[in-house]
């Protein structure tokens, strides 16, 4: 039976190229395309694809949130994360969301076909790089506890967002009606929890995790 595939990526040329490649296979039918996470949810509802190839960094809505929505409404869909980022955060969030596969865009066509066939049969498929990341976290006992250990509190999250948006400690203390000392403490704790040394690292962290964008 033919596998119905939905391609989600914000770059038209990439979608068109990929579609063309996949159509060469008799077992695969590209039933639709979406250029962001929002569209992916709609198309997925309308077209009921078997496999969804999902980019992560996209405008409007990213692939992580999109996958979560889609899998809540249709738990039988198999989502494959298809991204250029070897970021631990992305991999973890996607796997937590219940996706079945994770590949990088520099994989080969045959690898992609393999992945699609595997997830279609209900087998998980991770690229070797992804497997490495997952395994190294697993053996280091970082599988789930650490994520909670360095999880920011609500207040810290609030301060974090303001910090990476360029507000100073004193500006933030005025906004939140507390002492500059308090915000200073929050900042210190945030840095400690996230293992960051300076503002540069803080902002890089925020960018990697898509809390701010390079606008």
Partner DNA sequence: CCAGAAATAAGGAAACACCCTATTGTTTTT
Partner DNA sequence: AAAAACAATAGGGTGTTTCCTTATTTCTGG
Instruction: Select from DNA, its own copies, none the partner in contact with residue 1, using the beta carbon and a kind-dependent cut-off of 5 to 8 Å.
Output: none
With CB under 7 A as the contact rule, the residue among 47, 176, 203, 211 that binds DNA is 176
**20 is an interface residue for DNA by CB under 7 A:** no
In the block, residue with structure tokens 């070897």: 86
Structural contact between residues 54 and 65, judged by C-beta atoms closer than 8 angstroms: no
- Judged by beta carbon, residue 144 or residue 165, the one nearer its own copies is 165
CA torsion through residues 184, 190, 196, 200, sign: negative
**114 is an interface residue for DNA by CB under 7 A:** no
Instruction: Select from its own copies, DNA, none the partner in contact with residue 209, using the beta carbon and a kind-dependent cut-off of 5 to 8 Å.
Output: none
Distances (CA, A) of 60 to 10, 34, 56, 168: 10, 12, 11, 28
**185 is an interface residue for DNA by CB under 7 A:** yes
**196 is an interface residue for DNA by CB under 7 A:** no
> Coil, helix or strand for 81?
strand
CA torsion through residues 50, 53, 56, 57, sign: negative
- Judged by beta carbon, residue 56 or residue 164, the one nearer DNA is 164
Binding residues among 122-161 for DNA as defined by CB under 7 A = 151, 153-156
């Amino acid at each position: 039976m033919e596998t119905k595939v939905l391609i989600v990526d914000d770059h038209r040329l990439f979608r068109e190229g990929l579609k063309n490649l996949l159509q060469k296979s008799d077992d695969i039918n590209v039933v639709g395309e979406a250029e962001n996470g929002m569209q992916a949810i709609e198309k997925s509802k309308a077209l009921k694809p078997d496999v969804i190839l999902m980019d992560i960094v996209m405008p409007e809505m990213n692939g992580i949130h999109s996958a979560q929505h889609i899998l809540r409404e249709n738990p039988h869909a198999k989502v494959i994360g298809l991204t250029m980022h070897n970021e631990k955060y992305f991999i973890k969030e996607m796997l937590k969301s219940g996706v079945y596969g994770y590949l990088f865009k520099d994989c080969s066509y045959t690898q992609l076909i393999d992945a699609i066939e595997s997830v279609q049969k209900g087998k998980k498929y991770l690229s070797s790089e992804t497997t490495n990341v997952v395994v190294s976290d697993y053996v280091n006992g970082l599988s789930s506890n650490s994520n909670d250990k360095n999880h920011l509190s609500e207040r810290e999250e609030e301060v974090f967002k303001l910090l990476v948006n360029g507000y100073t400690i004193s500006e933030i203390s005025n906004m939140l009606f507390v002492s500059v000392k308090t915000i200073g403490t929050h900042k210190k704790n945030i840095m400690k929890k996230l293992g960051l040394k300076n503002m540069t690292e803080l902002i890089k962290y925020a960018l990697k995790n898509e809390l701010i964008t390079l606008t």
